[in-house]
């Protein structure tokens, strides 16, 4: 077990022993559940897929914070046709 800390820029150093075999630029999925934070290495993602994941994360944050619009079923299908 190693101890690390969060920098003022929101960065966390992964200790050398733990990051062996992980290349610079490797994407990770980050999951936070209460006081547990999990990093899961993601392999084989293309740049477009990474951008889609970022966009989905942004959308879920908007939903969770109540910043999104809400529609009835009928309104939704009208909007869907407009898109």
pLDDT tens, 5-50?
999 989 999 999 998 999 888 888 888 888 999 999 888 878 888 8
Parse the chain into domains and list their residue ranges: 16-82
Neighbours of 42 (CB within 10 A): 13
Q: Coil, strand, or helix at residue 24?
A: coil
What whole-number distance in Å separates Cα of residue 21 and Cα of residue 57?
A: 27
User: Is 69 a residue whose pLDDT tops 90?
Assistant: no
């Amino acid at each position: 077990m190693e101890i690390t800390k969060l920098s003022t820029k929101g960065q966390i150093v992964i200790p050398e022993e733990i990051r062996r075999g992980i290349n610079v630029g490797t994407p990770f999925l980050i999951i936070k559940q209460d006081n547990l934070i999990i990093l899961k290495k993601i392999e084989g993602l293309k740049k477009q897929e990474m951008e889609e994941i970022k966009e989905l994360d942004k959308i879920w944050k908007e939903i969770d914070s109540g910043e999104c619009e809400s529609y009835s079923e009928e309104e939704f299908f009208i909007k869907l046709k407009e898109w």
